[in-house]
Structure 1
Amino acid sequence: MRNTGQVGPEHARKQAELRIFGQAVPTHFLSQTVVKAGPGHRLFLAVPRGTPPAGGWPIVYLLDGNAVFDFLTPDLLALAPGLMLAGIGYDTDRQFAREQRTLDFTAPEGPGDGIRPDPVHPGRLVGGASLFLDRLTGPLRAAAEAAAPVDPARRTLWGHSFGGLFTLYALLTRPGAFARYAAISPSIWWDEGLIRRVADRAGRMAAPPPLLAALGDREKRSGSDGPPPDGPAPATMRFLADLRDGPGLSPQIHVLPGLVHIDTIAGSLPLALPFAAA
């Protein structure tokens, strides 16, 4: 696969500093380890201090864990002191593993269609979402939940950008994999027709899980020309609204004022962490 690490937005090349691991965190114990599954993942954990409830801790799985834990602060963790966090990252020192996340977070065209070249980003591959969902709910989940008792009925999946697109894919294809879903600035633009076909195939859900969606009102696609837009992405807003009529979901939609794309990671956490802890 061609290395495109030297092009694209600045944040895509940024090293993960992970300052929170050097700070005092009164509410959680922090740890990080490497899980040798698939391409290799870094697992970042924040386990609540104190005695777990009888059923185990609620847990939120955070995609792009290297970046999320770079934005995480003790004050944010204090918003949900009884919530366990599992950041699912890649074995890299950067915030984002661009090529790998593009592969893992994008949907196949249909059952068994497999992996294919990315029509948007030359040199990348796409279509690995089903395989990654197997990995996420298999060895990655097992590694995270070996660290502390977890309530299997209170698992939440959170994803941003391509991770937000994957979160919608997981919700629409395997709604029982998690109890709640939080899709932040999902990359509907990447292939709106494909994610709409995924939603159409899902049909009407008998018991739709809760969905939180958030996006900024100053977001634009990476590398696009012109000033930031004034308002949330219309395609994303349309898609979220249509989830009510198709699968029967009732998304909580939050527009984050003044935020560009990268800022919605941290900007969504004051909403998403209490949502996952509920």
Structure 2
Amino acid sequence: MNKNNRITISFIASVFIMLISLTACREDTFDKDLVREFTITSSINGSTYPVKVALPKNYSSSTKYKTVYVLDSKWDFDDVAREVQTQSENFHRSDVLVVGIGWGNDRLDDYLPVPYKSGSGRADLFVRFINEELVPKIEQDFHASGIREDRAILGHSAGGLFGAYCFTNYPDVFGNYLALSPALWIGDQVVLKEEKKNRAGNQSRTGRFFLATGEIEEEGMRPTVEALRQILNQHYNGFSKSYHLAKGLDHMGSKKPNIRKAVTFYFQQF
């Protein structure tokens, strides 16, 4: 190989490495200058919640915005906000806010409708906080749309269970559900029991439901997720639905890939 060929190959390799680095950087960051933060103390359950709001580019007070509410904000807000920013660019949209709800209580206390481990089962109060206090603030301060169809909730594990509980027991709050590896086995499958109890009043509703899990989830997780999948397919014809099984991934390993799948599904429905 002559000297000129070696130089050409070396240059191409350098450009390739640079492009990979730039892509990786783009995947790992989003415009944090567009994030607003505040705290809100609930008069319903007495807890104080840190909240983050990721604004879209070209944010304007003259627009009414769709909202994606993200549970476990400390863990998952950045990933969801990054993916929403990416998909907003891909789909040429600029009308979606990401609202990250931090922990005011132990997460199991807020997310579960029944006592379990450190949680006392106060999900009903947490739903009320979201619906009666947080949602109105987001609508007033950030010009979010006031209709159910424009609100989504995204949660993983206990957060996914909470989203499913909103679907079964509080269907007026959200019209879009992005439930990742929901821990539906908790409380002797209480959420599945609530779904059956409330089915007659709920199944005429419309909306979107993305359900996902990992192929090698811990024992007991996948059967209940599969049960919900079958229920959605059989009884909720008014919902656009999608299911994703993350091949070769466990409970935690499947979370980020399933966030990407969930947000992509959400944008595809517009």
Q: TM-score, normalised by structure 1?
A: 0.72
Alignment partner for residue 63 of structure 1, among 44, 60, 71? 71
Distance change in 2, residues 1:74/1:133 (3 Å): closer
Alignment partner for residue 42 of structure 1, among 36, 39, 50? 50
Residue 35 of structure 1 and its aligned partner are, at CA, apart by 1.6
Distance change in 2, residues 1:24/1:65 (3 Å): closer
**2:36 matched to which residue of 1?**
31
Structure possessing the higher radius of gyration over alpha carbons: 2
Instruction: Describe the SS at the equivalent of 1:266.
Output: helix
Cα distance in 2 for residues equivalent to 1:41 and 1:141: 13
Question: How many matched pairs?
Answer: 230
Cα distance in 1 for residues equivalent to 2:167 and 2:193: 14
- 2:101 matched to 1:101? no
Residue 177 of structure 1 and its aligned partner are, at CA, apart by 0.9
**2:86 matched to which residue of 1?**
78
Distance change in 2, residues 1:242/1:75 (3 Å): closer
- 2:225 matched to 1:244? no
CA RMSD of aligned residues (A): 3.0
The answer to whether the 8 A contact 2:83-2:260 is kept is no
Instruction: Describe the SS at the equivalent of 2:113.
Output: coil
Residue 169 of structure 1 and its aligned partner are, at CA, apart by 0.6
Cα distance in 1 for residues equivalent to 2:112 and 2:152: 19
Residue-by-residue CA offset, 1:148-193 (whole Å, 9 max, x unaligned) = 2112331111111001001011011121211211111000121343
- Correspondence 1:115-130 to 2 at 5 A: 117-118=115-116, 121=117, 124-130=118-124
Instruction: Describe the SS at the equivalent of 2:252.
Output: coil
**1:15 matched to which residue of 2?**
none
Give % identity: 21
Distance change in 2, residues 1:266/1:144 (3 Å): farther
The aligned amino acid for 2:213 is L
Distance change in 2, residues 1:234/1:23 (3 Å): closer
- Correspondence 1:99-248 to 2 at 5 A: 100-108=106-114, 117-118=115-116, 121=117, 124-153=118-147, 154-204=150-200, 205-220=203-218, 233-246=222-235
The answer to whether the 8 A contact 1:240-1:251 is kept is no
The answer to whether the 8 A contact 1:68-1:265 is kept is no
The answer to whether the 8 A contact 1:243-1:250 is kept is no
Cα distance in 1 for residues equivalent to 2:158 and 2:262: 17
Instruction: Describe the SS at the equivalent of 1:199.
Output: helix
Residue 74 of structure 1 and its aligned partner are, at CA, apart by 4.1
Where do 5+ consecutive residues of structure 2 fail to align? 1-25
Q: Comparing 202-211 with 176-185, which one deviates more in the overlay?
A: 202-211
Q: TM-score, normalised by structure 2?
A: 0.74
Cα distance in 1 for residues equivalent to 2:135 and 2:197: 26
Residue 272 of structure 1 and its aligned partner are, at CA, apart by 2.4
The structure showing larger relative contact order (alpha-carbon pairs under 8 Å, at least 6 residues apart) is 1
Residue-by-residue CA offset, 1:184-205 (whole Å, 9 max, x unaligned) = 1000121343122201111232
Residue 23 of structure 1 and its aligned partner are, at CA, apart by 5.5
Where do 5+ consecutive residues of structure 1 fail to align? 1-19, 92-96, 109-116, 225-231
Residue-by-residue CA offset, 1:84-109 (whole Å, 9 max, x unaligned) = 10001125xxxxx7xx211111125x
Distance change in 2, residues 1:258/1:31 (3 Å): farther
**2:245 matched to which residue of 1?**
255
Structure that is richer in helix per residue: 2
Cα distance in 2 for residues equivalent to 1:262 and 1:70: 16
The answer to whether the 8 A contact 1:159-1:166 is kept is yes
Distance change in 2, residues 1:263/1:40 (3 Å): farther
Distance change in 2, residues 1:190/1:31 (3 Å): same
Cα distance in 1 for residues equivalent to 2:175 and 2:80: 23
Q: Comparing 132-141 with 201-210, which one deviates more in the overlay?
A: 201-210
